[in-house]
Amino acid sequence: MKNWMKAAKEHKGEVPARGSGNYASEETKEIARLQRELRDTKDALEVLKKAIGILGN
């Protein structure tokens, strides 16, 4: 509750939504989507690197 009150004061009474899939703006939604896409791409790259390491030996 304390954190919500602090966020409300910092954002002039509006608390940006987090964690529930509700976003404060379309830009925030797009940023979250791009961050997920980047994370997934990095994960896929790591898997491929490991596969190359295993198959290359």
What's the pLDDT tens digit per position in 26-54? 999 999 999 999 999 999 999 999 999 99
What residues contact 23, with CB distance under 8 A and at least 6 apart? 16, 17, 29, 32
Q: Which candidate, 5, 21, 39, 36, places its Cα nearest to that of 47?
A: 39
Q: Provide the pLDDT for residue 51.
A: 94
Q: Provide the pLDDT for residue 18.
A: 57
What's the pLDDT tens digit per position in 3-28? 767 777 776 666 555 566 677 889 99
Tell how far CA 3 is from the center of its chain: 20
What three-state secondary structure class fits 33? helix
